[in-house]
Amino acid sequence: MNNALSGGRTLYMEQPNSEIVQCSQCGAKNRVPLYRTNEKAKCGKCGSLLNPAAGEDEKPYLLRCTECGARNKVPAGKTDKGPVCGVCKKPLRTEEIFKPQPVMVTEASFQKDVLGSPLPVLLFAWAPWCTTCRTFMPVIDGYAREVRGRVRVAKMNVDQTPNLASTYAIMSVPQIFVFDGGKLRENFPGAMQKNEIEMRMSRYL
């Protein structure tokens, strides 16, 4: 595993996406860029940590270089410091860590959002007419929130993606597909509970 970091370069200066976070200590509302919400953003008024869990969450992110495929470890506080791949020195796509999810996948976005993801991908194939799929959706949404920045969780409506459904021979829904490094690794037909999903995904983390 490569630990690639370089200071002094900030690739993503312009970050239009931000969210309002209320300080739990003084109640002041702070605008925080999305790429910092998992980090140690502080209240502008009283200086308290806006996300108290951020102090404990020092686990580095594991990002695959989308140029050469090497996996790189990026410390939680360095994601906005323009880290580059330890092998090929190309910039790591750290902005993808904070992309809101689940990501809705279309035939047009599949290449970029699934095959080109720097994170392992759990793809949930579903259809609007499938009752089991709809029942199962909250489990997927809950898992998506839990693993944001670690696993990309994506949803694909097979009615709207007939070519992909054919490519991956999707005969039944719901079905879970796992992609990593641009390749299909596993697929699991049927619904799964969250602890089973966590267990099956643990080998990709």
Residue 19: name the closest of 28, 35, 31, 8 by CA.
31
Provide CB contacts within 8 A for 180, sequence distance 6+. 64, 120, 121, 204
Nearest to 128 by CA among 152, 158, 105: 158
- Interface stretch with Zn ion, choices 6-14, 77-85, 103-111, 145-153 (CB under 5 A): 77-85
> Judged by CB under 5 A, which of 3, 29, 88, 203 binds Zn ion?
88
Which of 32, 62, 63, 85: binder of Zn ion (CB under 5 A)? 85
Is there a contact between 21 and 37 (Cβ–Cβ < 8 Å)? Answer: yes
Task: Give the helix ranges, DSSP H, for 8-114.
Answer: 110
Nearer to Zn ion, 65 or 176 (CB): 65
Q: How far apart are CA 19 and CA 61, in angstroms?
A: 22
Which backbone phi and psi does 5 adopt, to 5 degrees?
-145, 145
Q: Which of 49, 87, 139, 184 binds Zn ion (CB under 5 A)?
A: 87
Known active-site residue 130: yes
Task: Rule CB under 5 A: choose which of 3, 52, 68, 145 binds Zn ion.
Answer: 68
Which CB sits closer to Zn ion, 45 or 59? 45
| # chain residues binding Zn ion, by CB under 5 A | 15
Tell me if residue 108 falls in helix, strand or coil. Answer: coil
Min. distance of Cβ 98 from Zn ion in angstroms?
20
* Chain residues 4-63 in contact with Zn ion, contact rule CB under 5 A: 23, 25-26, 28, 43, 45-46, 48
The catalytic residue positions are 130, 133
Binding site for Zn ion (CB under 5 A): 23, 25-26, 28, 43, 45-46, 48, 65, 67-68, 70, 85, 87-88
